[in-house]
Amino acid sequence: MPARARVRRTVPSDADRLGEIHVRAWQAAYRGVMPDRYLDSLQAAERASMWRRNIERPGCGQLTLVIEDAGQVVGFASLGPEEGRPEELATGELYAINLDPDAWRRGFGARLLRAAVALLRELGYAEAVLWVVPENARARGLYESRGWIADGAVREDEVLGVTVSDMRYRLPLTPPATASR
């Protein structure tokens, strides 16, 4: 990965680029998993609008990081408290990590994932979870290479009449207790 890459928190002016990356990444990663009609209908402007709202008025505890290469945003990671369990303060969640397909396999994903995990740890979470489509072998390989473990939980969403499954991964963020002598 180029030494000029850096990770930082998002600012409102990142929204257009995040929308573009979001659409490009989904169209490349989920072709054959989600309906083509759905993927082809994704609009960068609509996703940019969503990201602009999320950046300007994030949900409680939600943060988004970007990774830049030579000053251009090439990916993002969104994180915060575990979704759907606001009372659970010990578990953080990596909601999304997406890279522009032109930046795949260049080390940006690993660097962004490390930064997201470090931030979750800094925020005081004892463990983290993420959900991934089982067919996304590239992403699963990255997570597994960084110590994330599939815990057996699955969920299903419907996208234009097609059921899409996700599987959950976990990562402890606190070191295991050592036995005292």
Annotate 153-180 with DSSP letters as a single string: EEEEEEETTEEEEEEEEEEE-SPPPPPP
Dump pLDDT digits (tens) for 101-140: 999 999 999 999 999 999 999 999 999 999 999 999 999 9
Q: Are strands 162-172 and 149-159 parallel, antiparallel or unpaired?
A: antiparallel
Dump pLDDT digits (tens) for 73-112: 999 999 999 987 656 679 999 999 999 999 999 999 999 9
Q: What is the pLDDT of residue 53?
A: 93
CA gap 101, 93 in Å, rounded:
23
Which fold is adopted by the domain 6-126?
Answer: Aminopeptidase (3.40.630)
Give the number of C-alpha atoms closer than 13 A to the C-alpha of residue 77, restricted to the C-beta side.
Answer: 24
Instruction: Decide: 25 and 100 in contact? Cβ < 8 Å.
Output: yes
